[in-house]
Amino acid sequence: MRVNVAGVELRSPVIAASGTFGYGVEFDEIVSLDRIGAFVTKGLSREPMQGNPTPRIIETAAGMMNAIGLQNMGVRAFVEEKLPKLRQMKGAVVIANIFGYTVEDCLEVIHILNDAEGIAMYELNASCPNTSHGGIAFGVDPGLLNELVSRTRGAAHRPLMVKLSPNVTSIAQMARVAADAGADAVSLVNTFVSLAIDIETRRPRIANVTGGLSGPAIKPIAVRMVYDVARAVKIPIVGMGGIVRAEDAIEFMMAGATAVQVGTASYADPRAVENIANGMRKWCASHHVEHVSSLTGSMG
Ligand SMILES: Cc1cc2nc3c(=O)[nH]c(=O)nc-3n(C[C@H](O)[C@H](O)[C@H](O)COP(=O)(O)O)c2cc1C
């Protein structure tokens, strides 16, 4: 079940996705962190953030919408309060998700994390708005994405995975920009910008008006995007979007992913990451697949 993503060895290809698994330690009594492939922290910023007003999460027909607004404790508090506990959990593979409203903010987060032990890799969230450029997200503008990735890559002492926004016309083009700027891997997809209206009050159901759609509704679009990116870049791809069952994860791998992440499914079942990995192991055994890594890009 082992896979290697940009030099980081994972005991299984199933990773808990950012924003749905806290800082890892909260899941300690439910999930053994040393048994899952890895987990990604909630997005970390230079300063603590309170996030958006509520309501900021709603359920949809086949998933959920959220506009948490990147609430987090800030990178320094993470290093001081959470990382020491994570280091005690021997074998837990920690991927730090980072973001900033300017390139400089991101660089500062990276500098602080570089000095801390116990992190295997960085995941750079490119869906964050760039406040120096009128709030346009880094990940939807090739020039901004190139600058963000090349400068972050220059500063990072660990492998850098760039998490791409799906809210673009060509995600393959953005993946190429990230790869050319030095990304060691790409992960996709983040959530899709969406809107739900309460027709009685004629008000948006989320206080922020729009939110990010995740869960099973987005899976076929996400699988298609992984397939497009796999034909555009040579670096490893970590795929996600609506994975609930082992079969979903296998589909992503066949489309070209080296590993996968599971987000929304952890809300329904906090053991989803572990269960999906176990299901993949069984599927591989019953289909005479010796190494799960051989599934990557195997769609005929
Ligand atoms: C409540 C919530 C919070 C999230 N927070 C983050 C975040 O801080 N950083 C990030 O890169 N992605 C964040 N995501 C996106 C997920 O990591 C993932 O890309 C997306 O939900 C698609 O996967 P899924 O359908 O399995 O949930 C968040 C998703 C949800 C549902």
Q: What is the mean pLDDT of each run of 10 residues along the chain (300 residues)?
A: 98 97 92 92 97 96 96 98 94 96 97 97 94 90 97 98 98 98 98 98 97 98 98 98 98 98 96 97 98 97
Ligand 1 centroid to Cα of residue 19, in Å, is: 5
pLDDT digits 0-9 by tens, 221-264: 999 999 999 999 999 999 999 999 999 999 999 999 999 999 99
Q: Contact 220/81 with Cβ under 8 angstroms? A: no
189 alpha carbon – ligand 1 mean position (Å): 9
Distance CA 292, CA 253 (A): 9
How many of the other CB atoms lie within 10 Å of CB of 267? 15
Verify whether ligand 1 is closer than 6 Å to residue 243 (CB atom): yes
pLDDT the model gives residue 134: 85
One-letter amino acid of 18: S
Show Cβ contacts of residue 104 under 8 Å, excluding neighbours closer than 6 positions.
none
- Within a domain: residue 59? no
| Domain membership flag for residue 203 | no
**58 part of a folded domain:** no
Our answer to whether residue 128 is catalytic in this structure is yes
Q: Is residue 224 part of a domain?
A: yes
**Predicted local distance difference test score (pLDDT) of residue 135:** 87
Is 211 close to ligand 1, i.e. is its CB under 6 Å away? no
Q: Which domain holds residue 183?
A: 3-53+70-198+213-295
166 lines ligand 1 (CB under 6 A): no
Residue in 191, 240, 262 to alter for ligand 1 test, most ligand atoms within 8 A of Cβ: 191
Among the atoms of ligand 1, which is closest to the Cα of residue 191?
20
pLDDT at 49: 96
pLDDT at 132: 85
CATH code of the domain in which 272 resides:
3.20.20.70
End-to-end C-alpha distance for the chain, whole angstroms? 22
Number of domains comprising the chain: 1
Rg, the chain, Cα only: 18
Judge if the beta carbon of residue 52 lies within 6 A of ligand 1: no
Please report whether residue 239 resides in a domain. Answer: yes
Closest to 297 measured CA to CA, from 258, 245, 241:
258
Segment 184-233, tens digit of pLDDT:
999 999 999 999 999 999 999 999 999 999 999 999 999 999 999 999 99
* Residue 133 pLDDT: 86
Q: What is the pLDDT of residue 144?
A: 96
